[in-house]
């Protein structure tokens, strides 16, 4: 395998660990905290998780290790979309496991949860694991989006574990994957399998966070990668002075990525989906907001700018979310086949016109035809509109162009408007992890094994105090059920980990809100540049702006 100089150097980077995890396995003990309860719907969650609900939060500290000495055979899977640092979770898990007992084994199940069901695995050794230290991607064992959620699947997994003598499973994933980890843990406990389940919080979207999980891994690296690109585009815009760049970034359910990128680069416009929903902003409201900035900048001779758009923003526009709901209903069941069989767009348009309410049809009619057609592209596995396929950056630039043409006709706008479009997604998901993510992920994996060693089941590996230097981080665990509430999914009440949206009264948004009017009109761009791995700690180990503002550092 040919490797780059950076890759070779990163293999040799030694991740920093929280102080108490650096003491050595023999000197780590447990401090138990209070019993927990779910974030909402306590009685329903408790009834669904009688064996794993209400357990205590724990932290690790220096002291005599009192865990039972026994051989551990651990299985690990990567679940869902890639996020920088996933390899280091596995490396930290492996190192802790081998430091405790060299006969311990780590099975990597390939391709995500399906590997666990199909018993497709490899057994890690030093030579293999060393090729992946501090590198991006999930190619160490691959990932997948198969959901572990039925008793039939759980029974198969239990048999696979029994076959290999597996004592614990570590699931590295986002909110859905860790919800499934919690349900699997409950099944294992109810059936006395003796197998533990530990989760690790991953998602570049940043929406797996709460009072215990300060940051999901991958968010730091991905937002720094996107911010480098946005900064590069902003510098180009400020050089050429003739284009408005509309840049869509990841974040369907929450706008953490967009907000962090805005805090790092200071674009002229950044939409925040949660604010759009709170203010019940219409498509026309958003279009006017952007067009106002374009007009004000044009009046100063600046016919260029940067607009950052979260990928899921259209779902938060009330009239658009109603439209999407109606389209999902319109194409439910066999109606989708009926629609797809129609011979032309004109015939499909008539079908749509006949099936939507007048209010939704009025919204649909003002959309550019390309966007209209995108709403009827391939559905997701649940039969819903795939919002990420909607080119919202092109939708808003097209509507702004039309709005400005009307202003020009009215004599209020005399500038030039030319738009370019970008979507930043895959560029950040497998980047070389920043020092922060390398350290954080290694700690999460190391910590996950300590939870296994002490017999915990249905817990999430937790590392906190993340805005401080790594040696001051605090390691421990929290019951997955603590993060759960009941949500309506496909006509059924389901226990799920509650997604964390951008808090409009939180410090990161408040800082953005206080500065955005100035950024909208002035050219206040910041060019953060590439992620730095070597050099001063304040450059190389810096956390995200979001985390720094939340902890006022």
The predicted-structure confidence for 217-236, as pLDDT tens digits, reads as follows 999 999 999 999 999 999 99
Q: Taking the domain 219-429+506-550, which CATH number applies?
A: 3.40.50.460
Q: What number of other Cβ atoms are within 10 A of residue 218's Cβ?
A: 31
Burial of 101-111, coded b for 16+ CB within 10 Å and e otherwise, reads: eeebbbbbbbb
Specify the pLDDT at position 388.
Answer: 66
Specify the pLDDT at position 366.
Answer: 84
Q: Please report where in the chains the tokens 């389940």 appear, as a residue.
A: 197
Q: What is the largest CA-CA distance in the chain?
A: 80
Specify the pLDDT at position 553.
Answer: 58
pTM reported for the whole predicted model: 0.94
Q: What number of other Cβ atoms are within 10 A of residue 434's Cβ?
A: 26
Is residue 259 a contact partner of residue 272, using CB atoms and an 8 Å limit? yes
Is residue 73 a contact partner of residue 104, using CB atoms and an 8 Å limit? yes
Specify the pLDDT at position 381.
Answer: 64
Report the catalytic residues. 205
Phi/psi for 216 (5° steps) reads -85, 150
User: What's the CATH number of domain 16-218+433-489, 3.30.1050.10, 3.40.50.450, 3.30.465.10, 3.20.20.140?
Assistant: 3.40.50.450
Specify the pLDDT at position 378.
Answer: 65
The full set of domain ranges for the chain reads 16-218+433-489, 219-429+506-550
Specify the pLDDT at position 390.
Answer: 81
Quote the distance between the C-alpha of residue 206 and its chain's center: 5
Specify the pLDDT at position 211.
Answer: 87
pLDDT in tens, 183-198: 999 999 999 999 999 9
Pairing of strands 244-249, 305-310: parallel
16-218+433-489 and 219-429+506-550 share one CATH topology? yes
Q: Which residues of the chain have pLDDT under 50?
A: none
Phi/psi for 72 (5° steps) reads -115, 130
The encoded tokens of residue 430 equal 């497998």
Residue 434 has what DSSP assignment? P
- Report the run of H or E that residue 46 belongs to, with start and end: helix 42-48
pLDDT in tens, 292-338: 999 999 999 999 999 999 998 988 999 988 998 898 888 887 788 89
């Amino acid at each position: 395998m040919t490797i780059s100089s950076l890759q070779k150097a990163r293999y040799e980077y030694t991740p920093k660990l929280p102080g108490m995890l650096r003491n050595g396995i023999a000197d780590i003990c447990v401090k138990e905290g209070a019993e927990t309860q779910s974030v909402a719907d306590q009685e329903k969650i408790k009834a669904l998780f009688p064996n794993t609900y209400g357990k205590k939060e724990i932290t690790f500290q220096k002291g005599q290790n009192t865990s039972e000495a026994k051989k551990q055979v651990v299985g690990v899977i990567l679940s869902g979309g890639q996020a920088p640092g996933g390899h280091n979770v596995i490396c930290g898990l492996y190192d802790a496991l081998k430091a405790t007992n060299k006969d311990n084994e780590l099975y990597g199940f390939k391709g995500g949860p399906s590997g666990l069901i199909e018993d497709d695995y490899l057994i890690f050794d030093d030579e293999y694991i060393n090729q992946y230290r501090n590198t991006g991607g999930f190619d160490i064992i691959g990932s997948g989006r198969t959901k572990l959620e039925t008793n039939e699947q759980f029974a198969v997994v239990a048999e696979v574990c029994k076959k290999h003598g597996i004592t614990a499973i570590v699931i590295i994933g986002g909110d859905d994957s860790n919800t499934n980890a919690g349900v699997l843990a409950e099944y294992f406990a109810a059936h006395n399998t003796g197998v533990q389940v530990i989760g690790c919080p991953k998602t570049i979207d940043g929406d797996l966070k709460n009072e215990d999980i300060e940051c999901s891994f991958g968010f730091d690296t991905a937002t720094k990668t996107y911010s480098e690109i946005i900064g590069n585009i902003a510098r180009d815009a400020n050089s050429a002075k003739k284009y408005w760049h509309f840049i869509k970034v990841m974040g369907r359910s929450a706008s953490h990525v967009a907000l962090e990128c805005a805090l790092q680069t200071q674009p002229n416009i950044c939409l925040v989906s949660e604010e759009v929903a709170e203010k019940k902003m219409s498509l026309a409201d958003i279009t006017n907001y952007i067009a106002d900035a374009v007009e004000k900048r044009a009046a100063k001779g600046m016919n260029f700018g940067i607009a950052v758009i979260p990928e899921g923003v259209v779902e938060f526009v009330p009239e658009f979310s109603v439209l999407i709901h109606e389209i999902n209903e319109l194409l439910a069941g066999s109606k989708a086949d009926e629609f797809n069989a129609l011979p032309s767009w004109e015939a499909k348009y008539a079908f749509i016109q006949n099936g939507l309410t007048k209010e939704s049809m009025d919204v649909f009619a003002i959309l550019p035809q390309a966007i209209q057609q995108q709403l009827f592209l391939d559905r997701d596995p649940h039969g819903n509109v795939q919002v990420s396929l909607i080119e919202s950056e092109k939708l808003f630039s097209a509507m702004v162009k039309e709005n400005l043409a009307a202003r020009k006709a009215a004599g209020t706008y005399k500038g030039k408007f030319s738009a370019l479009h970008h979507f930043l997604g895959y560029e950040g998901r497998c980047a070389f992890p920043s020092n922060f993510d390398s350290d954080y992920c290694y700690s999460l994996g190391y910590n996950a094994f300590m939870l296994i060693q002490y017999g915990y089941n249905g817990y999430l590996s937790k590392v906190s105090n993340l805005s401080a230097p790594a040696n001051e981080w605090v390691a421990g665990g929290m019951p997955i059920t603590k993060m759960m509430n009941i949500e309506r999914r496909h006509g059924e009440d389901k226990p799920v980990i509650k997604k964390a949206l951008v808090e409009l009264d939180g410090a990161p948004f408040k800082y953005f809100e206080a500065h955005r009017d100035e950024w909208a009109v002035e050219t206040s761009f910041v060019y953060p540049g590439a992620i730095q791995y070597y050099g001063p700690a304040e450059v190389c180990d810096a956390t995200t702006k979001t985390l720094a503002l939340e902890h006022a550092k």
